[in-house]
Structure 1
Amino acid sequence: MNLKSRFEQLCSPFTEDQQLICDLWKEVETQYSEKGRHYHNLLHLENMFRELEEVRINISDFTALSFSVFYHDVIYDATSKANEEKSAAKAEKRLAELHMRQDTISIISEQILATKSHQRSDEGDTNYLLDADLSVLGKDFKTYMEYTQNIRKEYSIYPDFLYKPGRKKVLKHFLELESIFKTAYFKEKYEIQAKENIEAELRLL
């Protein structure tokens, strides 16, 4: 998957300024390629787009949702509790430079903020974003374990006695949700495996 060309195609209806598009992509690429990003990187974006392509027919504004994918983790610091807010603010600033309509920018910002709590949304597109973001939870156990190892690397600043309780809290939060996945498609595809994976990880912590 060529994320660069996908991003350029997304931007092109909004501006003829190729240098601006190039600069915006370089920023996205640089952010997601930061040292220390073992999971929240460009591969994560590729996986999300692959998942969303499968349900594209159900998404009302695929352009807005695509920008949300590109910017939802553009700011990521394992020590920060405000990554989603910072990412949404970055998206708002950059999309304004593209002269995108403010109402669309607001939708994208709200979608990004929704990835903080992963609560079911009244907006269908937002639920697809949330489900694509969490789709790794429902993959085969080998893939899931690779994901958990990469998350651990991202939080390597924290010793086990701090990391493990925090990780357990996150995992239990997912299990306490009415359902991890919000859309019928993703729930059917991944819900059972995701719960099995999470319960298995909890036993290992």
Structure 2
Amino acid sequence: MTASSEKSTPFPANTHEDTGAMDFSAWARAWSVLGVTAASHETYEALIRRYDEPHRAYHNRQHLTECLRVRRGVDASCQAAAEVDLALWFHDAIYDPLRNDNELRSAQWLAEVARDHGLCAETQRRLYDLVMVTRHDAAPASADQAVLVDTDLAILGAPPERFEEYDRQIRQEYSYVPLPLYRQKRRQVLEGFLARGRLYTTATYFDAFETQARANLAHAIGRLD
């Protein structure tokens, strides 16, 4: 790895042990910014149970904690930071590697919770759209969507040891896929990222993660040879 690719990033450390970023007070603060004074503890607990499901090796509370901490650490400009944070809470709320509608179901859940908390239809729609953009099949349509996507992809620019852990975690989630097929599909995904003109839309995320992400991706692809 070149010296430039070893540049440190603001990616958080020790998120296996860190629970503060996603405790109930953090959840309640995000809702309170939107005027909700009594955030649902029941929904919070249901969400945590989802992230703790045993089939999740990567899309679990470690990933959620990292996303919430990265969003604050990088501090890219947001139009509605609380909406971005709530979308992060829900962006992998539903996760089944055998299905292709996880983002849709997660977005619908967030929109329903927002409605039950008394938020207006326009806010419900923005929250829904924020989660849906994490399908990564279209360019972000707003500054907040760009921050959300860049936060979700920050793992690509994590320090090498965390990126390699992430790579193993993804394989674990897809352990039912035969290794030759997995290696083929994983190469396609990683090469697709590497072929992009830039991985991160926002300038702050680009500066923080782009160089390391490209080094990580190239190294991971090399391991698939």
Instruction: Tell me which interval the TM-score lies in, with the shorter structure as reference length.
Output: over 0.9
**Residues of 2 paired with 1:54 and 1:140: CA distance?**
15
TM-score, length of structure 2 as denominator length: 0.84
Aligned twin of 2:158: 139
Partner of 1:7: 27
Aligned-pair CA distance for 1:9: 2.4
Instruction: Tell me the number of residue pairs that the alignment of Structure 1 and Structure 2 aligns.
Output: 202
Q: Give the residue type in structure 2 aligned to 1:184.
A: A
- The residue that corresponds to 1:25 in the other structure is 44
Give SS of 1:78's match: coil
Q: Distance in 2 between matches of 1:57 and 1:80?
A: 32
Match of 2:85 among 66, 72, 80: 66
Pair 1:45-2:67 in alignment: no
**Distance of 1:57 and 1:134 partners within structure 2:** 14
1-side partners of 2:62 and 2:106: how far apart? 18
**Superposition deviation, residue 120 in structure 1:** 3.2
8 Å Cα contact 1:118-1:130 kept in structure 2: no
The higher relative CO (CA closer than 8 Å, separation ≥ 6) is in: 2
Structure-1-length-normalised TM-score: 0.92
CA separation of 1:159 and 1:187: change in aligned 2, threshold 3 A: same
CA distance in 1, matches of 2:81, 2:147: 10
Q: Say which is worse superposed, 134-143 or 46-55, in terms of deviation.
A: 46-55
Secondary structure of the residue that 2:26 maps to in structure 1? helix
Instruction: Tell me by how many angstroms 1:10 deviates.
Output: 2.5
Change (3 A) 1:119 1:179: farther
Query: Are 1:71 and 1:87, in contact at CA under 8 Å, matched by a contact in 2?
Result: yes
1:202 corresponding residue in structure 2: 221
CA distance in 2, matches of 1:6, 1:31: 17
Gaps of 5+ in 1: none
Counterpart position of 1:97: 116
Structure 2 residues not aligned, in runs of 5+:
1-19
